[in-house]
Structure 1
Amino acid sequence: MSLQLVWNNEQEDFVISDDLISLLERILQQAGTVEGVTEGEVDLTFVDDDQIHELNKEYRGIDRPTDVLSFAMNEETDEELQIIYELDDEDELGNVPDVLGDIIISVPRAKLQSEEYGHSLERELGFLFVHGFLHLLGYDHQDEASEAVMMGKQEAVLAEVGLTR
């Protein structure tokens, strides 16, 4: 298995092109290489502001839309049930993908931010995607030092795929 992107489009504001998906796949491979992640699945969903607002309120208790949400599958709490896979004689555990988690991006919010920052929508979507990926791996930006680490990693990955400011 390798590092794989599975995506879904649940918004109608922007056409998700094959070129954009190819770019996001390159970003995923580059970020995975930098972080030493060579296997797993990342699920990406494009939504509108209403959908991400609802998710932000439900899961984070924040009653407003945001640009990106990440839900890591490898984080465990005491309240979570352990997943046990039952395999047939013909199945192998290696066929079960290691899902790293879900990244949800609001395309209208990304479009607005790209205009505010003066760069392309593709760059903003790429930035939000690598930002979400780093959250899946456990990175956070609760203080200046951790924010600087994340920002440096994000910018390095984007530069490698040609998405500079």
Structure 2
Amino acid sequence: MTIPTQPAIELVKHVSAPRLTRSRIQHIWQVVKQRVSLPSRWRQVSVVVVGAAEMKQLNQRYRHDPTVTDVLSFPYGTDGGEIVLCYPQAKRQSAAKQVSLTSELDWLLVHGFLHVLGYDHEQAKDAQVMRPLEQAILAYV
């Protein structure tokens, strides 16, 4: 069996998300890969788009937080990972921040990709690495 040199990008929509396309996700992934080192064995990155109720359940199950969040990331070691985006939450956040929905989705994807790659922002020292990297990537998206 040959291992693909480029990880596959899978997009699964549990809700309507017209602004989020596979080609957009692939573009953002290409920019991320140019800026960070990628484990050589990566095979697949899945992006799952969900509604608020499903995201609330996932957040409760995996983070023990009963609220709706915007993005959850699940790294699969060196094989890839999964990013779960809450489309309604992205819409709310874009309106609250007064930015386009596309810009908010781009940020959430970059944020999710970085988490899958092992970046974190829970500690201040980690955030000092992750936040500027997000901005540097978004400048090229």
How far has the Cα of 1:148 moved from its partner?
2.4
How far has the Cα of 1:143 moved from its partner?
2.0
The separation in 1 between residues aligned to 2:18 and 2:37, in whole angstroms, is: 32
Shift in CA distance, 30/3, structure 1 to aligned 2, threshold 3 Å: farther
Aligned to 1:123: 103
- Post-superposition Cα deviations, 1:62-94, rounded to whole Å, max 9, x if no partner, equal 1111000001110xxxxxxxxxxxxxxxxxxxx
Could you tell me which amino acid in structure 1 is paired with residue 138 of structure 2?
Answer: L
CA RMSD of aligned residues (A): 1.6
Could you tell me which amino acid in structure 2 is paired with residue 62 of structure 1?
Answer: D
Say if 2:26 is the partner of 1:46: no
Aligned to 1:8: 12
- Post-superposition Cα deviations, 1:120-158, rounded to whole Å, max 9, x if no partner, equal 111111111111111111111112221121111111111
Instruction: Normalising by structure 2, report the TM-score.
Output: 0.88
Say if 2:31 is the partner of 1:30: yes
**What secondary structure sits across from 1:160 in the alignment?**
coil
Aligned to 1:156: 136
Could you tell me which amino acid in structure 2 is paired with residue 10 of structure 1?
Answer: H
Could you tell me which amino acid in structure 1 is paired with residue 74 of structure 2?
Answer: F
Deviates more, 1:138-147 or 1:42-51: 138-147
**What secondary structure sits across from 1:44 in the alignment?**
strand
Could you tell me which amino acid in structure 2 is paired with residue 126 of structure 1?
Answer: D
Instruction: Normalising by structure 1, report the TM-score.
Output: 0.76
**What secondary structure sits across from 1:111 in the alignment?**
helix
**What secondary structure sits across from 1:15 in the alignment?**
coil
Q: Is the 8 Å Cα contact of residues 3 and 32 (structure 1) preserved in structure 2? A: no
Aligned to 2:127, which of 135, 147, 155?
Answer: 147
How far has the Cα of 1:16 moved from its partner?
4.6
Could you tell me which amino acid in structure 2 is paired with residue 35 of structure 1?
Answer: V
- Post-superposition Cα deviations, 1:20-51, rounded to whole Å, max 9, x if no partner, equal 43222111011112112265311000001100
Could you tell me which amino acid in structure 2 is paired with residue 68 of structure 1?
Answer: V
Identity of aligned residues (%): 33
Aligned to 1:78: none
The separation in 2 between residues aligned to 1:52 and 1:9, in whole angstroms, is: 13
The separation in 2 between residues aligned to 1:114 and 1:50, in whole angstroms, is: 19
Flag structure 2 segments of 5+ consecutive residues without an equivalent.
none
Aligned to 1:94: none
The separation in 2 between residues aligned to 1:128 and 1:8, in whole angstroms, is: 16
Indicate the structure (1 or 2) with the bigger Cα radius of gyration. Answer: 1
